[in-house]
Amino acid sequence: MTEPQRMEAMGALGIHLIGAPRIELDRIEVAGPRGRKAWGLLGFLLSSQTPVARERLAELLFGDAEDPLATLRWNLAELRRALGPDVELSGDPVALSLPADVYIDVLTLSSGTWVESIRVPALGHEFLEGVDIQASAAFEAWLVAERRRIAGLSAAILREAATARLAAGDAAAAVTFATKLVAFDEFDEEAHALLVRALLANGAAGQARAYLDSTADRFRRELGVEPSATLLRSIDAAAAAPAPGPAWVRTGAATASLIAAGEAAVGAGVFEAGLEILRRAVADARDAGDRMVEAKALVALGTAFVHGARGRDGEGATVLHEAVVLAEEVGSMALVSEASRELGYIEMKQARYERATAWLDRSIAIAPGRESRAAAVAIGGAVAGDQGRTVAARDMLAEATIDARELDKPRLAAWSLSFTGRGHVLREEWQAAREVLTEAIEVARAAGWITFLAFPQSMLASVELAEGRLDAASAAFESAFALGCQIGDPCWEGLSARGIGLVHARHGRVAEAVKWLDDARTR
């Protein structure tokens, strides 16, 4: 996209709040509102999902004024002047109505594709950069949080961009994006691992090794800890892909069998063997020139990295981005939807919820059938639960549970029931939680989904703990912890270790409780 095309895509009104704030009308910067607080008011209104009462806005921003409401009216008038006649900003509560073609950089970061978001002019700069606003403690706390949120979104976009370019074979661009990414957090191991893989792909093996060594030394020196396997293993990306098998076993049917075998191995907890089988499937399909089967194998491999292998989300994301491109080329919207869903799941695991929602919304929108849609809706329900959107979570998980039962998808049912149960636990609805989680455990066991079982077990153990059945809670948490350790899943390990610590605390064994809770924190 050329610069004129990019600006045309922004629409007649452009609101830029990242970096030094500015407003554009017909692609020309215009005089902004007078006063720094007007920019803060605009940012707050844009971030609010519902209209905000005038009294609330006056308290937040203009509480120290002689007449806070009059000062608010003046600032609203300044915004109306700067934003132009197509914007409505009125009422009590104050409602902001914008034209359909408005471009807002912060919204592009949260809901646009990485291709759109990477073009945000001031990507990487601070939200309302240089705008120092003295207001209420509540507003200043919001501003700090919003700046952190925008910084997190910027990092997420750079991560997606680097991963996508690496998957597309553009290693030089991947190095550029990954280099910018590590500047956001010098102790983000995943970012450093991505840069190492990009350097390797760009033919700079010596530079990659030197960078890895210096980064690992800095972790040891400044944090006093050993780098995780995620970082140390990143240099292994130079390993050659498995050679394709004999020609007589490189048919579509044979490769499909490899995919099924690899998925079964990963589902049973035999991760490395399963990954090797799926890599073989990708190599065979690629060598045979069967692009549709290759796309299927890539989706299966990426999914296996994400769900089955500890600390391998970065590798999984690279494979899934490659799968998205190939699936789009061969016209398989089902595979595009599936890969997008798994990319959303990666973002969910890292608590990058807005990016997770963007991927999941895409997956749902293009899903060709009920089965594809249901899986994305189920993950979306978990995301909504993590964000505290209780009603949305309940409705999405209920829909996914119904679909899973009618489609005879037991793993999807176990997932949806487990997160429904978690919602009941968080709301202290103990009887409802017990019923749903007991069913989730039964369904997961019947489906042979051993790698997931520790989650509903830990949730049900939380019910036992809340209702005072400490022996039952202890046994359930310990069983879940053992299973989590067996499969090497840090999420289940941490969740169950926390539960064991809480059981010790209820018994008054404070030292043991602290030890287990500290262990849970570090997993």
Looking up tokens 């680097």, which residue turns up? 162
pLDDT band at 486 (very low <50, low <70, confident <90, very high): confident
Domain spanning 449-523: which superfamily? Answer: Tetratricopeptide repeat domain (1.25.40.10)
pLDDT of 237: 60
Name the 3-class secondary structure at 242: coil
By CB atoms closer than 10 A (0-12, 13-18, 19+), residue 315 is: buried
Mean pLDDT of 162-186: 94
pLDDT of 235: 87
**Please, what sign has the CA dihedral across residues 401, 405, 407, 409?**
positive
Consecutive H or E run containing 13? strand 13-16
CATH class of 3-151: mainly alpha
Per the structure block, which two tokens stand in for 239?
A: 């390993």
pLDDT at position 2 over 50: no
pLDDT of 343: 97
Mean pLDDT of 185-197: 93
pLDDT band at 3 (very low <50, low <70, confident <90, very high): very low
pLDDT of 272: 87
pLDDT at position 209 over 80: yes
Contact 451, 267 (CB under 8 A): yes
In order of 90, 102, 123, 461, the CA distances from 98 in angstroms are 12, 7, 23, 49
Q: What is the C-alpha to C-alpha distance for residues 521 and 172, in angstroms, rounded to an integer? A: 37
pLDDT of 60: 96
Q: Give the pTM.
A: 0.82
In eight-state DSSP terms, residue 94 is B
Q: What is the C-alpha to C-alpha distance for residues 117 and 123, in angstroms, rounded to an integer? A: 8
Characterize the bridge pairing of strands 13-16 and 103-104.
parallel
pLDDT at position 10 over 50: no
Phi, psi of 99 (to 5 degrees): -65, 155
pLDDT at position 18 over 90: yes
pLDDT digits (tens, 9 = 90+) for 297-320: 999 999 999 987 667 889 999 999
pLDDT band at 492 (very low <50, low <70, confident <90, very high): very high
Per the structure block, which two tokens stand in for 58?
A: 């006056």
In angstroms, how far is the first alpha carbon of the chain from the final one?
A: 44
pLDDT of 245: 54
pLDDT digits (tens, 9 = 90+) for 404-444: 999 999 999 999 999 999 999 999 999 999 999 999 999 99
pLDDT digits (tens, 9 = 90+) for 352-366: 999 999 999 999 999
pLDDT at position 25 over 90: no
- The one-letter amino acid at 148: R
pLDDT at position 199 over 50: yes
Contact 245, 275 (CB under 8 A): no
pLDDT digits (tens, 9 = 90+) for 228-278: 888 888 888 655 455 555 554 556 678 889 999 999 888 777 888 999 999
Helices and strands (H, E) in the chain, number of each type: 25, 6
pLDDT band at 114 (very low <50, low <70, confident <90, very high): very high
Q: What is the C-alpha to C-alpha distance for residues 247 and 71, in angstroms, rounded to an integer? A: 77
pLDDT at position 19 over 90: yes
Mean pLDDT of 182-193: 92
When the pLDDT of each residue in the chain is averaged and rounded to a whole number, the result is 92
Per the structure block, which two tokens stand in for 64?
A: 């120290």
